[in-house]
Structure 1
Amino acid sequence: MRQINMESNRSIDRAFDVLQVFTIERPSLTKEEISKLTDIPVSTVYRILYTLERRSLVRFDPDTLCYSPGFRLIEFGSLISSILDVHREAESFLNDLHVQTRQTVLMAISDGDQILYVFNKENYDGLKFSSHVGQRRPYIYGILGPVLLSYLPNKQIERILEIPVPKHTPYTTTDPDLIRKRLQLIKDNGFYIESDETNIGVTGIGAPVFDVRKEVIAAVGVIGPSVQLVGEVLEQAKVALLTATQGISSKMGYPGKLHSTF
């Protein structure tokens, strides 16, 4: 944990004190029991529990008057497990991809209505234009967002497409119909190449990572200056990227080949 010369937020500290009293041995508790375990007044505990309940972080059983951990905590746990698993299995492939292409390599996962970057290794000799680990972006941004979006359920895709897309450059595609066609092409081709739509002079190529259920769990991308990622160099980067995503997918239990050429 980072050491920062700053006081923590007392209300948030108390909320976590409340959440941390739940254990396998104590899966449900009354507000009075929580108050006794945390040394927080019952009235304060009740306000905290009400807030946590509204956020689905705890559940209340009116029959027993007990609280227990909510389903949102399970979602957080699944997210962390997913990040750790795919990051661990992917890291060597991503580092090799960075060495082979000599360009910036990124990996992101879906997180609700946004994407979350979980890996970034930049080409320190070139331009700095990528997102950092832990940063969230909309789906219609860069190369990884559209790749992840293309494999989501249609209902979620349509909801995302209702969100206005800002023009990052004069070349950014914002028309929902054109974006729908692009998403289908990504699924058909198994990769996505974009130039100048997010940053002028920057080209990227992205591809999905699948798991044992044949579901997309991440997207990996290579980005660099358009003057470098062109022609045969771009084709070599595409082959290296698809080889890496095949390797990661196999590590995650995906059965078979993603691309006929590998």
Structure 2
Amino acid sequence: MENNTKKTAVLETGDRILRMLECFTIEKPEWGVTELSKHLGLYKSVVHRMLVTLEHRGFITQNPQSQKYMLGIKLFELGVVVGNQMNLRTVAKPVMEELCENTKETVMLMIVDGLEGICVEKVESTQSVRYTSPLGKRVPLHAGATTKILLAYLPEDKIDKIISKGLPKFTDYTVSDPDELRQQLQTIRKQGYCISSNDFSLGGMGIAVPIMDHSGEVVAGLSISGLEFRMNDIADSLLRQCQAAADSISRRLGAR
């Protein structure tokens, strides 16, 4: 019962902070403690504590002239991250559509979020039997070409953390041995692409390559995903097309 009470208190605090941040708008970018207290229906002492916490973390700053509070640089930094993701999707979508049209297979764009992969854009094959993955779906990074290409380029400490949480098997072909996975990742980095089949779903095959930004960092993985019996014999051709598409997207993001 005590634990439930604590969890409720944490949720209430988080909700209050989010409600407070939502008060800052283009129409009213600055707020004083008293007016925030009245607007939110909270004690001034509570509002002040939240503002001090947010200010300490860079989410809020105080205008030295008006003494009122406004949004801080941290929110701008987070906005840039969101903007980059949106820009990535905008840039990638037409290239993905062309790749899907040429290969007749599903094309996916995936990024790393925490310790998982998440599909942020896709263009589905029009074939009656095809591979598909819902937008926003979270998937493990150790199985499947689209996610393994991302895992391969993560910092070693993050790879260690993912491996330490276990490598569940999805099929008999899923790599669950840490040493074997590390060897695979080394090979992927060396060759610059990943081709895998049956390790996430039986009968499935994926061909994936990294997408880089202006700084040379891997920001996403681009893949052609479909059925092994259709893709296996033309894998080399599909790989070349996937690489050309990824290079096109990377250049549009400023990569050299």
User: TM-score w.r.t. structure 2 length?
Assistant: 0.79
Aligned position for 2:3: none
Distance in 1 between residues matched to 2:24 and 2:209, nearest whole Å: 41
Task: Read off the aligned partner of 1:41 and give its amino acid letter.
Answer: L
How many residue pairs align between the two structures? 239
CA 1:219–1:58: 2 relative to 1, 3 Å = same
SS at structure 1 position matched to 2:133: coil
Aligned position for 1:18: 20
Task: Read off the aligned partner of 1:130 and give its amino acid letter.
Answer: T
CA 1:238–1:68: 2 relative to 1, 3 Å = same
Distance in 2 between residues matched to 1:79 and 1:45, nearest whole Å: 30
CA 1:240–1:94: 2 relative to 1, 3 Å = same
Structure 1 residue 33 displacement after superposition: 3.7
SS at structure 2 position matched to 1:167: coil
CA 1:32–1:129: 2 relative to 1, 3 Å = farther
Aligned position for 2:42: 41
Q: How is 1:94-133 mapped onto 2 (pairs within 5 angstroms)?
A: 94-133=96-135
Structure 1 residue 214 displacement after superposition: 0.8
CA 1:73–1:126: 2 relative to 1, 3 Å = farther
Of 154, 157, 178, the residue aligned with 2:156 is 154
Task: Read off the aligned partner of 1:242 and give its amino acid letter.
Answer: Q
Contact 1:105-1:121 at 8 Å conserved across structures: yes
CA 1:167–1:67: 2 relative to 1, 3 Å = farther
Aligned position for 2:249: 248
Structure 1 residue 15 displacement after superposition: 4.8
Q: List alignment gaps of at least 5 residues for structure 2.
A: 1-11
SS at structure 2 position matched to 1:203: strand
Aligned position for 2:165: 163
Distance in 2 between residues matched to 1:190 and 1:150, nearest whole Å: 10
Of 134, 137, 140, the residue aligned with 2:139 is 137
Task: Read off the aligned partner of 1:250 and give its amino acid letter.
Answer: R
Structure 1 residue 141 displacement after superposition: 3.1
CA 1:69–1:160: 2 relative to 1, 3 Å = farther
Distance in 2 between residues matched to 1:148 and 1:159, nearest whole Å: 15
Q: Alpha-carbon deviations, 1:130-156, whole Å to 9, x = none?
A: 322122222223222111111111111
Superposition RMSD in Å:
3.3
Q: List alignment gaps of at least 5 residues for structure 1.
A: 1-9, 256-262
CA 1:72–1:230: 2 relative to 1, 3 Å = same
- In proportion to residue count, which structure has more helix? 2
Structure 1 residue 126 displacement after superposition: 3.7
CA 1:57–1:178: 2 relative to 1, 3 Å = farther
Structure 1 residue 234 displacement after superposition: 1.5
Structure 1 residue 23 displacement after superposition: 5.5
Aligned position for 1:7: none
Task: Read off the aligned partner of 1:160 and give its amino acid letter.
Answer: I
Distance in 1 between residues matched to 2:98 and 2:157, nearest whole Å: 36
Structure 1 residue 243 displacement after superposition: 0.6
User: TM-score w.r.t. structure 1 length?
Assistant: 0.78
Task: Read off the aligned partner of 1:112 and give its amino acid letter.
Answer: G
CA 1:78–1:159: 2 relative to 1, 3 Å = farther
SS at structure 1 position matched to 2:23: coil
Structure 1 residue 47 displacement after superposition: 11
Of 21, 25, 34, the residue aligned with 1:32 is 34
Contact 1:34-1:45 at 8 Å conserved across structures: no
SS at structure 1 position matched to 2:229: coil
CA 1:167–1:251: 2 relative to 1, 3 Å = same
Q: Alpha-carbon deviations, 1:22-75, whole Å to 9, x = none?
A: 358987756434223x2423279649949x86xx695699xxx98765787456
Contact 1:49-1:58 at 8 Å conserved across structures: no
Contact 1:18-1:45 at 8 Å conserved across structures: no
